[in-house]
A and B are shown apart, each in its own frame.
Chain A
Amino acid sequence: MGDKPLAHLEYPVLGRAYFLGGRASTSLRRALLQAGVEEDVLQRVCVACYEAEMNVVLHARTGYMSVDVWPDRVEVCVTDHGPGIEDVELAMQPGYSTASEEARSLGFGAGMGLPNIRQHADELAIESKVGEGVRLVMTFWRGGRRDGSEQ
């Protein structure tokens, strides 16, 4: 296998811009369709990326989504500049959220984001530095999950 991905995509994500949220993921969906990524993989990438994008929008000042398409996988890295996550384990619990009332009234921040990401990505790594930001790395295997289990 070559050391260059089949496609490399980058999208900026703006914090607090609730109503622009989802645009990066929607553009990504189109690009991945063009890159020939399989429908089932595409669907999982879309759900996870939307949630990761909205996490940046809801909690951070700014961030970006970087995506590499490989023959056997799609790798997504979402990095933001913001408050970071104080307790990653707690944040992974369904229903736990630090989103504002404003965000919640719009139907965001129900504490389902990270659980949704974990459910849809095959591999997930979260690095957080409080006061600096979060780096999320997600891997989606093409042609079935590597651990043999189905969704």
Chain B
Amino acid sequence: MAQSNELTLAEVAQRLDARAVAAADRLYVAVAGGLVSDLLSYVMANGRPGQVWITIQTHPNIVAVATLARLAGVLIASGFQPNQTTIARADEEGIPILVSPDPAFVLAGKLWEMGVR
């Protein structure tokens, strides 16, 4: 659970006007930083627990990566939509997926301004 001074994924979603499409019951976790990448190996090597991952990848493998790297959730940029298989697997693993029409650069900027480091 989040400390009072930490942003949760739910607050991030609200302030970004991003929509939760999977594991919406797991949004009340603290966000501990973030990373932006569309290369899965990069995220495996550099992702840290609690981070939010901004990507335009939408296939089910993003759920495996987020699970194994213990990320807080995945934020899909530029209006890309995950398919039903991805959503089902994210629900199963408890990995929240947020989607936003904003591009990754804008999302990262907004998160930074919110104090996510």
- Report the minimum CB–CB distance from B64 to chain A (whole Å): 2
User: Beta-carbon contacts of A93-107 to B below 8 Å, as 1s and 0s?
Assistant: 000000000000011
Q: How far is the CA of A48 from the CA of B99 in the complex (A)?
A: 29
List residues 27-53 of chain B with CB under 8 A from any CB of chain A: 38-42, 44-45
| Contact (Cβ within 8 A) B39 A106 | no
Q: For A113, give its contact among B41, B61, B63, B93 (CB under 8 Å).
A: B41
User: Would B64 and A22 count as touching, CB distance under 8 A?
Assistant: yes
Q: Is the CB of B64 within 8 A of A26?
A: yes
| Min C-beta distance of A120 to chain B, whole Å | 8
> Contacts A21-B61, A47-B44 given: A112-B68 contact, CB under 8 Å?
no
B41-79 to A contact mask, C-beta < 8 Å, 1/0: 110110000000001010111011101111000000000
The interface residues of chain B, by DSSP majority, are classed as: helix
The one of B57, B68, B69 that contacts A106, using a Cβ cutoff of 8 Å: B57
* Chain A interface SS verdict (over half): helix
B39 engages A107 (CB within 8 Å): yes
Q: Which residues of A contact B65 (CB under 8 A)?
A: 22, 50
Q: Are A110 and B64 in contact (CB under 8 A)?
A: no
Chain A nearest CB from B54 CB (Å) reads 13
Report chain A residues within 8 Å CB of B45. 47, 112, 116, 119
Verify if A145 is at the interface (C-beta below 8 Å from B). Answer: no
Asked if A26 and B59 sit within 8 Å, CB to CB, the answer is no
CA distance A46 to B70 in the complex (A): 10
Cα A99 to Cα B17 with chains together (Å): 37
Asked if A75 is at the interface of the complex by the 8 Å CB criterion, the answer is no
B14 adjacent to chain A (CB < 8 Å): no
Contact A19 B61, beta carbon cutoff 8 Å: yes
Complex CA distance for A25 and B69, rounded to whole angstroms: 11
Establish whether residues B44 and A116, one from each chain, have CB atoms under 8 Å apart when the complex forms: yes
Q: Which one, B40, B42, B61, B67, contacts A29 given CB within 8 A?
A: B67
- Chain B residues engaging chain A, CB cutoff 8 angstroms: 38-42, 44-45, 55, 57, 59-61, 63-65, 67-70, 85, 93
